[in-house]
Amino acid sequence: MQNAMSSTFQAPLQVPLSQSGNLRRQIKFNGVKRRPMVAAASVNVEVNDAARGSAGGLGRNNKEVMEAEKKLLVGTYNRAPVVLASGKGCKLYDAEGREYLDLSSGIAVNALGHGDADWIKAVVDQANVLTHVSNMYYSIPQIELAKRLVACSFADRVFFSNTGTEANEAAIKFARKFQRHSNPDSKEPATEFVSFTNSFHGRTMGALALTSKEHYRSPFEPVMPGVNFVEYGNIEATRKLIQPGKTAAVFVEPIQGEGGIYSATKEFLQFLRDACDDAGALLVFDEVQCGLGRTGYLWAHEHYGIFPDIMTLAKPLAGGLPIGAALVTEKVASAINYGDHGSTFAGSPLVCNAAIAVLDKISNPAFLASVSKKGHYFKETLKQKLARNPHVKDVRGLGLIIGIEFDVSATPVVDACRDSGLLVLTAGKGNVVRLVPPLIISEQELDQAVEILCKTLPVLDSNSN
């Protein structure tokens, strides 16, 4: 075969978008025209100079990439008009070389920033050995990661998934199975859930049912029934909803990220712990966004000294690779049998080895102390600099998850920050700027972010009339 194809050039399938239509018609395998495999590692194909293009197949032009996205991808994302091409530390660079200070971290994912040397080594080393085997077999990195997660948390066991919404789906199933297991003689074991206003637990059908914002749920109704929403932090209203024989579990974020950076009180979380115990319900802490060092504590609930039956994790755990996890106590795990749940890709050797590198760094007490110190500095600096602005209603948060609430839409500020080289997010009802920088960010970079934010605030005056 090699001799028969010796006259052709062997190269990765990387061609400019403008050439892809012609290439699709030109590719031949042994003289037979076939549809080329997208992103094939290597194919035997005649390639001329114009078809070689740049890495990734597109030119270094923002407009070209954005136009291609409109034609090729399902329109589920209202993207910012930036094409990010590379990153290092807390800095990102677009396809044309412009620099941005990143205070979005891929929505609180890139806790170690971009291009962390230890993370890269973990990924490359593991990729050279073994990437995926499925959960039909044992693999060492998965067990090593689970061992670390159990050692540094309340949990006794771990279930791995690929995303935060999958972790919450697992928690839903585990809660219902736990009720059946704990009440074998009951004809109708508890199946309902309690969730809270401003909550966000994911976009798959079960997690979506737990998410309070109607505009996320309404296009896809009916979603999973049996979810009761109540005001976040309202003890008396919640007390009426947590009932023995009806409530399987209560889902709560110790700090709501998407909802607007609202922190629970210790009194509220302690009430939930006691009420769940009294009702035989499980308490689930969703720490997909606020967990793993972001608050200055390894887990956000450690700030309160109150512990759940299940904790769901995802975003920062593998440093940008897809992972989720449901950490559970032994009493929950005892209800789960072979085949009750599963995943093809979850807990792969590659992703777990990356997560070990992330967890080992973030769980270091000195690292967590630095997050707490920088978070306090950042919030106090923001409060001082923004105190006199009439549009600023509140600056809140813990560690390096901070929200600035305005009396008008925050979108003009987000846009102006981006134009000035700073990437931030919105939250809440669109009136909150969400700041979730890489946990490695320096005080100098935080000062730079504050300076840009302050310079952009006048755009609120022209948008509030």
**To 5 degrees, how large is the angle CA 172–CA 178–CA 183?**
135
Per residue in 2-12, pLDDT tens? 444 433 334 34
Q: What is the pLDDT of residue 436?
A: 98
121-136: per-residue pLDDT in tens? 999 999 999 999 999 9
CATH class of 60-115+366-464: alpha beta
Mean pLDDT of 413-435: 97
Is the Cβ–Cβ distance between 298 and 180 less than 8 Å? no
Task: Tell me the CA distances in angstroms from 207 to 4, 80, 213, 300, one per residue in order.
Answer: 54, 26, 12, 20
Of 196, 251, 285, 315, which one is the catalytic site residue?
A: 315
Residue of 102, 116, 286, 309 with catalytic role: 286
As a whole number of angstroms, the distance between CA 169 and CA 44 comes to: 43
Can you read off the two tokens belonging to residue 279?
Answer: 């009702």
29: pLDDT confidence band, cut at 50, 70 and 90? very low
Residue 15: per-residue pLDDT: 42
Highest mean pLDDT among 38-42, 60-64, 311-315: 311-315
Q: Is 286 a catalytic residue?
A: yes
Cα→Cα distances 103→208, 330, 415, 441, Å: 27, 38, 14, 9
- The answer to whether 407 and 393 have CB atoms below 8 angstroms apart is yes
Closest CA relative to residue 263, chosen from 296, 227, 241: 296
| Residue scoring higher pLDDT (79 or 19) | 79
pLDDT at 383 over 50: yes
**Mean pLDDT on 161-180:** 98
pLDDT of residue 359: 98
The pLDDT value recorded for residue 53 is 35
Q: What is the pLDDT of residue 80?
A: 95
pLDDT tens for each residue of 146-158:
999 999 999 999 9
List, for residues 270-311, the tens digit of each pLDDT value: 999 999 999 999 999 999 999 999 999 999 999 999 999 999
Burial class (CB in 10 A: 0-12, 13-18, 19+), 237: exposed
Q: Residue 412: which residues within 8 A CB-CB, separation 6 or more?
A: 459, 460, 462, 463
Catalytic residue among 196, 200, 367, 378: 200
Fold of 130-363: Aspartate Aminotransferase; domain 2 (3.40.640)
The mean pLDDT of the chain is: 90
Q: What gap in Å lies between CA 62 and CA 96, rounded to an integer? A: 7
| Proportion of the chain above pLDDT 70, given as a percent | 86
Mean pLDDT of 221-226: 96
Q: What is residue 365's predicted lDDT score, i.e. its pLDDT?
A: 98
- State the pLDDT at residue 464: 62
What is the rounded average pLDDT of the residues 11-26?
44
Catalytic residue check, 200: yes
* pLDDT confidence of residue 12: 41
The pTM of the whole model exceeds 0.75? yes
Confidence class of residue 61 from pLDDT cuts 50, 70 and 90? confident
Q: Where are the domains of the chain?
A: 60-115+366-464, 130-363
pLDDT band at 217 (very low <50, low <70, confident <90, very high): very high
Looking at the chain, the whole-number percentage of residues with pLDDT higher than 90 is 85
207 contacts 165 by C-beta, under 8 angstroms: yes
pLDDT at 421 over 60: yes
